[in-house]
Amino acid sequence: MKFIIKLFPEIMVKGTSVKKKMVSQLHDNLRTQLLRLDDSIELKRFWDKIEVFAPEDKRIPVLKVLTQTPGVEQVLEVSQSEADTLDEVAKRVADFALSKIEGKTFVVRVKRSGTHDFSSFDMERYIGGYLLEHGDAKGVDLHQPDYKVELEYQQNQVNVIAARHRGLGGFPLGTQGEILSLMSGGFDSTVASYLTIKRGIKTHFIFFNLGGAAHEIGVKQVALYLWGQYGSSHRVQFVSIPFEGVVEEIFRSSHEGYMGVMLKRLMLQASEKIADQMGIDALVTGESVAQVSSQTLRNLALIDKATDKLVLRPLAVMDKPNIMRIADEIGTRHFAESMPEYCGVISKNPVIHGSFKRMEKEQVRFDYAVLDQAVSEAVFLPVHEIIADVNAQANVEIVNQVGDETVIDIRRPEEIAARPLSLEGVVNIPFFELKQKFKGLDQSKSYLLYCEKGVMSQLHAQYLKDNGFDKVKVYRPASS
CA distance 222 to 205: 10
Strand duo 427-428 + 2-7: pairing: unpaired
357 annotated binding-site participant: no
339 annotated binding-site participant: no
CA angle 279, 282, 287 (to 5 degrees): 145
| Residue 183 near residue 207 (C-beta atoms within 8 A) | yes
Domain boundaries, the chain: 2-166, 178-387, 394-475
CATH classification for the domain delimited by 394-475, as one of 3.20.20.70, 3.40.50.920, 3.40.250.10, 3.90.1310.10:
3.40.250.10
DSSP state letter for 263: H
Looking at residue 464, its pLDDT comes to: 86
Give Cα 92 distance to the centre of its chain: 39
324 annotated binding-site participant: no
210 annotated binding-site participant: no
| Residue 409 near residue 430 (C-beta atoms within 8 A) | no
Burial call 31-57: b when 16+ CB within 10 Å, e when fewer: bebbeeeeeebebebeeeebbbebeee
| Residue 106 near residue 141 (C-beta atoms within 8 A) | yes
Looking at residue 169, its pLDDT comes to: 96
Classify residue 185 as exposed, middle or buried by CB count within 10 Å of its CB (0-12, 13-18, 19+): buried
Topology match between the domains 178-387 and 394-475? no
273 annotated binding-site participant: no
| Residue 49 near residue 76 (C-beta atoms within 8 A) | no
CA distance 403 to 424: 12
Catalytic residue IDs = 451
CATH class for the domain made up of 2-166: alpha beta
Of 343, 338, 352, the C-alpha closest to 463 is 338
CATH topology of domain 178-387: Rossmann fold (3.40.50)
CA distance 210 to 229: 27
Strand duo 147-154 + 157-169: pairing: antiparallel
- Taking only the tens of pLDDT, the chain with its 480 residues reads 999 999 999 999 999 999 999 999 999 999 999 999 999 999 999 999 999 999 999 999 999 999 999 999 999 999 999 999 999 999 999 999 999 999 999 999 999 999 999 999 999 999 999 999 999 999 999 999 999 999 999 999 999 999 999 999 999 999 999 999 999 988 999 999 999 999 999 999 999 998 677 788 889 999 999 999 999 999 999 999 999 899 899 988 999 899 999 999 999 999 999 999 999 999 999 999 988 888 899 999 999 999 999 999 999 999 999 999 999 999 999 888 877 655 555 666 888 899 999 999 999 999 999 999 999 999 999 999 998 888 777 678 888 889 889 999 998 888 888 888 888 889 999 888 887 888 889 888 999 999 887 777 887 888 788 778 888 999 988 765
> What are the respective helix, strand and coil percentages of the chain, to the nearest 5?
45, 20, 35
Contacts of 197 (CB under 8 A, 6+ apart): 70, 170, 173, 203, 226, 230, 231
Looking at residue 338, its pLDDT comes to: 76
Strand duo 42-45 + 49-53: pairing: antiparallel
Strand duo 427-428 + 472-475: pairing: unpaired
Of 374, 370, 378, 341, the C-alpha closest to 251 is 370
CA distance 165 to 71: 14
